[in-house]
């Protein structure tokens, strides 16, 4: 029976250049999303973001 650490084992030396690019993009997007969530959900930004709330519905014609 395999242990849990065997199941999640990664052979880093077998990774190709495409694997590294995909891993890098995934980590960067993950960190960007965390930063974006922190910015949007931070209470001090509420008034700034609420002022922009109806931009998609504004008709400038």
Q: Is residue 22 part of a domain?
A: yes
For residue 21, the model assigns a pLDDT of 98
Per residue in 15-35, pLDDT tens? 999 999 999 999 999 999 999
Give the whole-angstrom CA distance, residue 16 versus residue 42.
39
Give the whole-angstrom CA distance, residue 26 versus residue 20.
10
Element (H, E) at 21: helix 17-41
Q: Is residue 5 part of a domain?
A: no
What average pLDDT does the segment 51-61 reach?
A: 76
Count the domains in the chain: 1
Q: Is residue 10 part of a domain?
A: no
| Residue carrying the six token digits 């974006």 | 36
Domain extent for 39: 17-52
Percentage of the residues of the chain whose pLDDT score is greater than 70? 95
Q: Is residue 43 part of a domain?
A: yes
For residue 56, the model assigns a pLDDT of 77
Whole-structure pTM value: 0.67
Q: Which of 49, 21, 24, 52 is nearest to 36 (CA)?
A: 49
| Residue carrying the six token digits 């930004």 | 45
């Amino acid at each position: 029976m395999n242990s849990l650490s065997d199941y999640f084992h990664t052979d880093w030396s077998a990774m190709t250049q495409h694997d590294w690019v995909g891993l890098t993009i995934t980590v960067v997007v993950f960190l960007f999303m965390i930063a974006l969530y922190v910015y949007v959900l931070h209470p001090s930004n509420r008034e700034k973001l609420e002022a922009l709330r109806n931009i998609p519905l504004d008709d400038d014609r």
